[in-house]
Amino acid sequence: MFTCDPPVAPSDATRPLLPGPGPPARVTMTAAAAAVSGRPLTMSRKRLQQLVDALGHSTKHFNKGEVECLIKLFDKLVAESSSRFAAAGFDRNMFRDILHSAFGMTDEMIMDRVFRTFDRDNNSCISVVEWVEGLSVFLRGTMEEKIKYCFEVYDLNGDGYISREEMFQMLKNCLLKQPSEEDPDEGIKDLVDIAMKKMDYDHDGKLSFKDFEKAVRDETLLLEAFGPCLPDIKSRMAFEQKTFRESS
Amino acid sequence: MGAALARAAQWTAAGSGTGTLEITPLNESLLNQIIKFVEDFSARHPREAAFVFKEPLEWKTQLDCSAFGNGYEITEATVQSEAKAKDGQSLLLLTKSTLRVRSFDQLSHVLQIAMEKKLKEVQACLEANRDPIVQILGPEYGTVEGEDRSILHLLEKVKKGGDPETEVKMKIFLLLHQLDLQLLNSSLKQISQDVRLNPAAVNNEVNLLKNFSEEGEDTVLESLEYTSDYVFSNGCRAPPWRQVHGEICYLVINPHDTDPLCITCSTAGVFLNGGQIDGKDHIDYERKSDVYKDIVTFLRERSPKFVENMAKQEYRFFKEPTYAKNFQRMGVVEAKVSGQSQSLHDFVEKKVGEKVKSSASRRAIEKKKLEPSMRWKNAGLSVLHRKKHITAKAARKDAEEDRRRSSTVSPKIKKKGNGISSESAKIQPASKRKTSARFNNVSESSSETEEDEEQPVRHHEGGTDLPSEYWGIQKLAKYLKGGNPTATVIALCSMKDFNLAQETCQMAIRDIGCLEVLINLLDTEEIKCQIGSLKILKEISQNTLIRHAIADLGGLEIMVKILDSLDRELKCLAAETIANVARFKRAQRTVRQHGGIKRLVGLLGCDAVGSTSLTPYQAKDTEMARCGALALWSCSKSTKNKEAIRKAGGIPLLARWLKCSHANILTPVVGTLQECASTPSYRLAIKTEGMIEYLVKNLSSEHEELQMHCASAIFKCAEDKETRDLVRQHGGLQPLSVLLANSENKQLLAAVTGAIWKCAISEENVAKFREYKVIETLVGLLTDQPEEVLVNIVGALGECCQESVNRSTIRRCGGIPPLVKLLTGTNQALLVNVTKTVGACATEPETMIIIDRLDGVRLLWSLLKNPNPDIQASAAWAICPCIDNAKDAGEMVRSFVGGLELVVNLLKSKNKEVLASVCGAITNIAKDEENLAVITDHGVVPLLSKLANTNNDKLRRHLAEAISNCCMWGRNRVAFGESNAVAPLVRYLRSNDPSVHRATAQALYQLSEDPNNCITMHENGVVKLLLPMVGSTDETLQEAAAGCIANIRRLALATEKAKYG
């Protein structure tokens, strides 16, 4: 069951350019990164304040208090783990545990993709900045941000298109196996056809970002068409309540 | 105290109407608090205590006249207080055993007199006046559930003008409100101590005890048995008339150490009853012991042996408890190691297996779902079988071939196929007309029958010619049934791309068994699947068959549950789908019974009303309110739902949304209001909550549907005078008259003319209408209209006709010929209105000429043969002015063959209004001597005499007039005397109605020409009654009274003369 890598190996050089982070985020990221570098486990009051200020500007969906809560949560989780990355942030496994326990996500491949989407600088470690900015979209993103985010998750090889094969990969565990079926993949292929027919507006046999965006604007349900990659309302509210109330 | 009385007090018969207060500890404490309040009232609040009630509180008292002392005038059977209200009526009046009290002063006095009977008196008073505040302050202060605005209105009034009376009213209202709260609080304390047993709990306890009961020393009991083996569907064993008292079942218990105990288990607890009488059949239901919280507690108290054996704890299980079987689980899911496939498996399991637990019918559906295409199997296209060998694509191709083959090979089947398509063509327009379907029942939408107005159309089963949509939907269905949420959502989105408004697709979804899956999806936790499913259900529920199928599959219950969801979009969709499904009675009932009304009303409760520019958040609120209102509109077709909406506090919310300016929400809101306006409580609320203003405002909306609902709401509400005035004050008459110009939209026209009709009952409104030339327009509309429009137009003209100016307007515009022509119609409501209007027009001699020329009187006369008493009465009333104003009336009447006999025979009717109207007609007929002779021959005298013993003032008046006129012929005077008409007539003089006095005096004067009648009158004390009338300002009465007395006196003198020479 454990599928960690998509069939087409992603190369770091071909990170998706399309839905990349906007320019203001870039600026503050460097500023915040300065504050992070060489950060000890317990941050000094002043540094924390700097980080909060920096992130408070870059993420428009959280206020300063909330940013502070998220940073504290990050520190707490990092401190609890004994991973070798602990000083810098979450590694893949830690992050997957968080996604599973806090947001009830189960699909290994999707969780892996969420990790990669959060991990903007591709160093296989999610820093505090990536954590806060990622959650900003994850929890409170606008429709536009969410469409970008989901497309990025589903575009397994990061080439800017969701191909038939990628769809097949994502949907292959969708159906209850029926013993009567001789070729179990047949049903999945049909499902891919159905999805393609529904969303491929320009009939080029793959989904571009434009196709995906149009399909979602048309029918919001298709936002998470290839697997749940956003928290549902209940776990989202539970998470926010727990995180923001606990420490404020 | 209204709320406390309505909710807390325990009434024996549920519902409104007459019930009695049970003597329970709770009620007793409530009553005692009320007594204390009333007793102290006059001392504490002297000013308020003097306030005179709007209506007296009236009840049957057990107090004796003699109990009243100082301050009261006591005659034989009546007691009056010396204190009087401004209008001269006594504040306390006791006649026979009926007590009427009009102030708190007097109330507390009554209680002081009552001494130990206090409790009884208060109980009787409250039983007779279920909501005393209505009597005290007026109907607008009645207890309503939910938000109560009356106090606010009152406060405004107090602020505006310093009317001391309003201030006192306000204070009383506040005091009563305080009492109410106090009562509720104390009753809450009581109730919280109460135990509520239920059949299941009792049954469990009995089963438990049975296990430890047997002959022998160690058991806790010897035996314990139900008295009845029959269990009602609600789990009770008590007969229904005892269930009303909360009793669940009766048990006979044989403990080791005492006599058999016969006990009653009721919702309030367990107690000893009177035991079985005459063997086993009857039980003395009377309570003989205290109430205990359960059987064990009861037995502990009664049987020491029971306690002892319980303490030993050496129980042996005698038999397997029967109910344990229920705990067995049905299916076991094969456990998988991977969490992911586990969750997928769970989801699918849920979708498919959800309903196994419920009833057998559901299980049948289950079977159908697992093996969805029974039909196909029959048609030899077993899909499951086929799937093994070939791919779905191939199957499709194959099937098309199959179809082609079948169409060429067997023409017979082809023909059958045609049959289906023609039928579906018939149904389709019906399902497409989604808005106009609502219009259809504007006028009789509120018919209160419980029948389903929507009969599902039987669909052809077993067609062979399957359209291509079946294949597409069949393919998607596979993913709905066997996919995880992701696959399900893709399939749902794709299914949405089919033309769901098309009958073929709707039927395909049903026949393939998708409907069950869609409904089961609603019962999962997956919001995206729920939304997707509802988006499809919303569309296909435009179809009647689908609506019924959804209701049959229990879809409404789940959708009602979804209304509690956190997701707004989901809630909106659920409400919209409910709006579509709940178009028939059974569905409306289901929504109510599962608490749907309360939740739907809840959707209206948000705060985006006032603002014009909406934030996205408010826009969502508005959307939610719109969907809620749509669903309420559908549901409000049932009377009980109207009540439920009111109880859920829906009225103030509807009133709030009425103030907004978005037509898309106003339409369902006003639609609901006009639907509900058929009940008095809504009409009162519409008036007092200031909704008329906004109804009037929206008459000028751009949306015809909205205009129509507003007009129709005014139509229903304007029976009330204050409402009519409000419509005028808010300038509603002008837009109504403008709307008459739009004569194309018949539904709108019907509503508008209806509103005009009811508004025209007020003279001031008629004057306005005249200004707007409404009468001319209405006359112009008299031809070529549907009957429901005509009824209203003619009704409106009838109201306008009360004024002479308008009568001549109608004549001038040529309204008489079409009106007379309508007399030949058959619509009952129309005939009542037409006869009334023609009658009113006939009061003008000039108009009468036209009516006579058109032979209108003959038509009116023929309507007397109509079996409907309303039409009979209305026709007879119309005949009166006709005879009065026609030239050669006598000749005309005689020319109707059998007409006079017909009229006389109508005196045998049972209907008071018919009798009064026929008496009126006879009064006029008798003016012609020849006709009087004819009706005398037909036996009018004994028939009239028979009616004499009536209490109805209207009938009395016209009867007296008829008698007076009929005296003019032959020996009719003597005949009236012989048939005992005289004595009752004398009693009429005691009536309160001056017009009765006048008619009676005239009749008596005529009758007094006969000496025997004089003697009868004198014996009945006529002189004493007539003497004050001689002094009346009414000259006719004066003269008649004097004439009558003179005749009696003359007779007396003559007798004396004869006696003493």
pLDDT tens, residue by residue, B427-436: 444 444 443 4
Write down the pLDDT at residue A10. Answer: 41
Q: Which of B928, B925, B926, B992 is nearest to B957 (CA)?
A: B992
Total Cβ atoms within 10 A of residue B218? 11
Provide the token pair at B26.
């709770």
B31-35, B139-143, B993-997: segment of lowest average pLDDT: B139-143
User: Which has the higher per-residue pLDDT, B779 or B426?
Assistant: B779
Cα-to-chain-centroid distance, residue B209? 47
Model confidence, pTM: 0.62
B640-670, pLDDT tens digit by residue?
999 999 999 999 999 989 988 888 889 999 9
- Interface A-B, measured as beta-carbon pairs within 8 A, has a size of 90
- The reply to whether residue B484 touches residue A182, judged by beta carbons under 8 angstroms, is no
Q: Using CB atoms and an 8 Å cut-off, which of residues 846-875 of chain B contact chain A?
A: none
* A157-172 core/surface letters (b: 16 or more CB in 10 A; e: else): bbebbbbbebbebbbb
Tell whether the model's pLDDT for residue B334 goes beyond 50: no
Write down the pLDDT at residue B128. Answer: 80
Residue carrying structure tokens 């697992």 = B370
| Residue B460 contacts A where some CB pair is shorter than 8 Å | no
User: Which has the higher per-residue pLDDT, B684 or B452?
Assistant: B684
Write down the pLDDT at residue B356. Answer: 40
Here the contacts of B895-900 (C-beta below 8 Å, separation 24 or greater) are: B896/B858, B896/B861, B899/B861, B900/B925, B900/B931, B900/B934, B900/B935, B900/B938
pLDDT band at residue B244, thresholds of 50, 70 and 90?
A: confident
User: Which candidate from A194, A227, A237 shows the least CB-CB separation from B491?
Assistant: A194
Q: Which of B539, B706, B680, B568 is nearest to B628 (CA)?
A: B568
- The reply to whether residue A175 touches residue B487, judged by beta carbons under 8 angstroms, is yes
pLDDT band at residue B1046, thresholds of 50, 70 and 90?
A: very high
User: Which candidate from A108, A176, A180 shows the least CB-CB separation from B344?
Assistant: A176
pLDDT band at residue B273, thresholds of 50, 70 and 90?
A: confident
User: Which candidate from A1, A108, A221 shows the least CB-CB separation from B532?
Assistant: A221
User: Which has the higher per-residue pLDDT, B228 or A44?
Assistant: B228
Distance CA B831, CA B188 (A): 57
Here the contacts of B267-273 (C-beta below 8 Å, separation 24 or greater) are: B267/B196, B267/B197, B267/B198, B268/B194, B268/B195, B268/B196, B268/B197, B269/B195, B269/B197, B269/B293, B269/B294, B270/B197, B270/B294, B270/B295, B270/B297, B270/B298, B271/B298, B272/B298
Highest mean pLDDT among A147-151, B121-125, B180-184, B274-278: A147-151
User: Which candidate from A106, A176, A191 shows the least CB-CB separation from B340?
Assistant: A106
A96-110, B60-74, B141-155: segment of lowest average pLDDT: B141-155
User: Which has the higher per-residue pLDDT, B964 or B606?
Assistant: B964
Mean pLDDT in chain B? Answer: 80
Write down the pLDDT at residue B447. Answer: 41
Write down the pLDDT at residue B161. Answer: 67
Rg (CA), chain A: 19
Distance CA B564, CA B599 (A): 7
| Residue B487 contacts A where some CB pair is shorter than 8 Å | yes
- The reply to whether residue A171 touches residue B487, judged by beta carbons under 8 angstroms, is yes
B560-598, pLDDT tens digit by residue?
999 998 888 999 999 999 999 999 999 999 999 999 999
User: DSSP H helical segments within B194-294, as ranges?
Assistant: 199-211, 240-243
User: Which candidate from B340, B483, B493 shows the least CB-CB separation from A1?
Assistant: B340
Distance CA B685, CA B680 (A): 9
Write down the pLDDT at residue B502. Answer: 87
Q: Do β-strands B78-81 and B72-74 pair in parallel, antiparallel, or remain unpaired?
A: antiparallel
Over residues B119-145, mean pLDDT: 77
Q: Using CB atoms and an 8 Å cut-off, which of residues 319-338 of chain B contact chain A?
A: 338
Name every chain B residue with its beta carbon within 8 A of the beta carbon of A187.
478-479, 482
Write down the pLDDT at residue B351. Answer: 55
Write down the pLDDT at residue A83. Answer: 58
Provide the token pair at B755.
């509103």
Q: Which helix (H) or strand (E) holds B284?
A: strand B282-287
- The reply to whether residue A219 touches residue B485, judged by beta carbons under 8 angstroms, is no
- The reply to whether residue A107 touches residue B341, judged by beta carbons under 8 angstroms, is no
- The reply to whether residue A221 touches residue B344, judged by beta carbons under 8 angstroms, is no
3-state SS class at B595: coil
Contact B463, B504 (CB under 8 A): no
- The reply to whether residue A174 touches residue B486, judged by beta carbons under 8 angstroms, is yes
Q: Mutate one of A2, A191, A235 to test the B interface: name it (highest B CB count within 10 A).
A: A191
User: Which candidate from A1, A182, A194 shows the least CB-CB separation from B490?
Assistant: A194
Write down the pLDDT at residue B884. Answer: 87
Contact B623, B572 (CB under 8 A): yes
Q: Which of B823, B881, B780, B860 is nearest to B796 (CA)?
A: B780
Tell whether the model's pLDDT for residue A30 goes beyond 80: no
Report domain extents, chain A. 44-140+231-247, 142-228
DSSP structure string for B939-1003: THHHHHHHHTS---HHHHHHHHHHHHHHTTSTTHHHHHHHTT-HHHHHHHTTSS-HHHHHHHHHH
Over residues B510-516, mean pLDDT: 89
DSSP structure string for B373-442: -HHHHHTT--HHHHHHHS-HHHHHHHHHHHHHHHHHH-HHHHHHHHHHHHHHHHHHHHHH-HHHHHHTTS
A224-228, B295-299, B828-832, B1004-1008: segment of lowest average pLDDT: B295-299
Over residues B115-126, mean pLDDT: 81
Tell whether the model's pLDDT for residue B315 goes beyond 70: no
Length reported for chain A: 248
Over residues A226-237, mean pLDDT: 89
How many helices (H) and strands (E) would you count in chain B?
60, 10
Write down the pLDDT at residue B11. Answer: 61
| Alpha carbon distances (Å) from A164 to A167, A194, B169 | 5, 11, 78
pLDDT band at residue A36, thresholds of 50, 70 and 90?
A: very low
Q: Mutate one of B370, B382, B489, B566 to test the A interface: name it (highest A CB count within 10 A).
A: B489
ipTM: 0.82
Rg (CA), chain B: 38
A72-81, A180-189, B1039-1048: segment of lowest average pLDDT: A180-189
User: Which has the higher per-residue pLDDT, B601 or B177?
Assistant: B601
Q: In angstroms, what separates the C-alpha of A90 from chain B's closest C-alpha? A: 22
Q: In angstroms, what separates the C-alpha of B463 from chain A's closest C-alpha? A: 28
Tell whether the model's pLDDT for residue B1 goes beyond 70: no
- Do domains A44-140+231-247 and A142-228 share one topology? The answer is yes
Name every chain A residue with its beta carbon within 8 A of the beta carbon of B392.
190
Write down the pLDDT at residue B642. Answer: 93
Q: Do β-strands B98-101 and B92-95 pair in parallel, antiparallel, or remain unpaired?
A: antiparallel
Provide the token pair at B1022.
């006529």
Q: In angstroms, what separates the C-alpha of A33 from chain B's closest C-alpha? A: 36
Q: Which of B1019, B923, B1007 is nearest to B971 (CA)?
A: B1007
Name every chain B residue with its beta carbon within 8 A of the beta carbon of A198.
490, 493-494, 497
Tell whether the model's pLDDT for residue B392 goes beyond 60: no
Tell whether the model's pLDDT for residue B542 goes beyond 50: yes
Q: In angstroms, what separates the C-alpha of A13 from chain B's closest C-alpha? A: 31
B19-28, B126-135, B482-491, B1026-1035: segment of lowest average pLDDT: B19-28
Contact B790, B753 (CB under 8 A): no
Name every chain A residue with its beta carbon within 8 A of the beta carbon of B338.
1
pLDDT band at residue B492, thresholds of 50, 70 and 90?
A: very high
pLDDT band at residue B6, thresholds of 50, 70 and 90?
A: low
User: Which has the higher per-residue pLDDT, A60 or B951?
Assistant: B951
Q: In angstroms, what separates the C-alpha of A36 from chain B's closest C-alpha? A: 36
Write down the pLDDT at residue A43. Answer: 58
| Residue B477 contacts A where some CB pair is shorter than 8 Å | no
Here the contacts of B990-993 (C-beta below 8 Å, separation 24 or greater) are: B990/B1025, B991/B953, B991/B956, B992/B953, B993/B953, B993/B956, B993/B957
Contact B672, B636 (CB under 8 A): yes
- The reply to whether residue A221 touches residue B479, judged by beta carbons under 8 angstroms, is no
Q: Do β-strands B247-254 and A161-163 pair in parallel, antiparallel, or remain unpaired?
A: unpaired
User: Which candidate from A106, A176, A225 shows the least CB-CB separation from B482?
Assistant: A176
pLDDT band at residue B735, thresholds of 50, 70 and 90?
A: very high
Distance CA B124, CA B8 (A): 17
B187-218, pLDDT tens digit by residue?
777 766 656 778 888 888 888 888 777 777 77
User: Which candidate from A219, A226, A234 shows the least CB-CB separation from B486?
Assistant: A226
Tell whether the model's pLDDT for residue B675 goes beyond 90: yes
Name every chain B residue with its beta carbon within 8 A of the beta carbon of A194.
475-476, 479, 490-491, 494
Length reported for chain B: 1061
Q: Which helix (H) or strand (E) holds B253?
A: strand B247-254
What proportion of chain B, given as a percentage, has pLDDT over 70?
80
Q: Which of A77, A75, A91, A35 is nearest to A58 (CA)?
A: A35
Over residues B821-837, mean pLDDT: 91
pLDDT band at residue B240, thresholds of 50, 70 and 90?
A: confident
User: Which candidate from B348, B486, B527 shows the least CB-CB separation from A233?
Assistant: B527
Write down the pLDDT at residue B708. Answer: 94
Which amino acid would we find at residue B574?
A
Q: Which of A168, A166, A160 is nearest to A190 (CA)?
A: A168
Distance CA A154, CA A160 (A): 10
Q: In angstroms, what separates the C-alpha of A143 from chain B's closest C-alpha? A: 13
- The reply to whether residue B487 touches residue A233, judged by beta carbons under 8 angstroms, is no
Full 3-state SS string of chain A: CCCCCCCCCCCHHHCCCCCCCCHHHHHHHHHHHHHHCCCCCCCCHHHHHHHHHHHHHHCCCCCHHHHHHHHHHHHHHHHHCCCCCCCCCECHHHHHHHHHHHHCCCCHHHHHHHHHHHCCCCCCCECHHHHHHHHHHHHHCCHHHHHHHHHHHHCCCCCCEEEHHHHHHHHCCCECCCCCCCCHHHHHHHHHHHHHHHHCCCCCCEEEHHHHHHHHHHCHHHHHCCCCCCCCHHHHHHHHHHHHHHHC
Q: What is the CATH number of domain A142-228?
A: 1.10.238.10
pLDDT band at residue A167, thresholds of 50, 70 and 90?
A: very high
- The reply to whether residue A176 touches residue B391, judged by beta carbons under 8 angstroms, is no
Question: Domain A44-140+231-247, what architecture?
Answer: Orthogonal Bundle (1.10)
B16-47, pLDDT tens digit by residue?
445 666 667 677 788 888 888 888 888 888 88
Distance CA B175, CA B149 (A): 17
Write down the pLDDT at residue A124. Answer: 86
- The reply to whether residue B483 touches residue A1, judged by beta carbons under 8 angstroms, is no
Contact A108, A1 (CB under 8 A): yes
Torsion, Cα B179 B185 B190 B193, to 10 degrees, reads: 180
- The reply to whether residue B497 touches residue A198, judged by beta carbons under 8 angstroms, is yes
Distance CA A55, CA A61 (A): 11
